[in-house]
């Protein structure tokens, strides 16, 4: 696969994940949720995800073009991460399951660390490009936890 085609592939992959994930709109259910005062305004999520997705695509393209044999493992982590990011949208917005989404958000954060590590082993610049994703997913998991606990969720509902 030449450079232009491989870049197009990775950009198309993140675009597809973004479009499919956006198919589960926030809607009225989300608007009724109690939100922490430190939650970002709704309009900010789209631009942040756009930047993160572009960085993900360029990082994956950089890893792919390295030609190193370990790139397959790194790209596999990346594909799993991208798929589960889409699944989070389905669980949170499609099924309205904030507690399940917390669990997946924590998994996403852990996967982003694994993916970032794998990318660093192939290309320092690719690993650096994934750092904003990892930071965003850490914040995202904490925000998701706040949504869950503020809206009659929390560990008491599981154990109590």
The closest of 160, 144, 42 to 99, measured between CA atoms, is 144
pLDDT digits (tens, 9 = 90+) for 71-98: 888 999 999 999 999 888 888 888 888 8
121 Cβ partners below 8 Å, 6+ apart? 70, 74, 127
- Judge contact between 82 and 13, C-beta under 8 A: yes
Please, what are the domains in the chain? 3-21+46-154 (1.20.1260)
pLDDT digits (tens, 9 = 90+) for 98-147: 888 999 999 999 999 999 999 999 999 999 999 999 999 999 899 999 98
- Judge contact between 133 and 98, C-beta under 8 A: no
- Judge contact between 19 and 12, C-beta under 8 A: no
pLDDT digits (tens, 9 = 90+) for 58-68: 999 999 888 77
pLDDT of residue 23: 63
Between CA 92 and CA 100, with CA 96 as vertex, the angle to 5 degrees is 60
């Amino acid at each position: 696969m030449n450079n232009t085609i491989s870049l197009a592939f990775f950009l198309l992959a993140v675009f597809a994940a973004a479009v499919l994930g956006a198919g589960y709109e926030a809607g009225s259910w989300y608007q009724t949720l109690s939100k922490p005062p430190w939650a970002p305004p709704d309009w900010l999520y789209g631009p942040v995800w756009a930047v993160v997705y572009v960085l993900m695509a360029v990082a994956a393209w950089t890893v792919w073009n390295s030609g190193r044999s370990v790139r397959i493992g790194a790209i596999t982590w990346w594909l799993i991460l991208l798929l589960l990011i889409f699944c989070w949208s389905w669980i949170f917005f499609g099924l309205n399951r904030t507690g399940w989404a917390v669990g997946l958000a924590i998994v996403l954060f852990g996967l982003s660390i694994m993916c970032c590590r794998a990318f660093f082993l192939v290309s320092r610049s690719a690993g650096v490009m994934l750092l904003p994703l990892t930071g965003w997913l850490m914040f995202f998991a904490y925000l998701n936890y706040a949504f869950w606990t503020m809206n009659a969720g929390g560990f008491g509902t599981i154990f109590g």
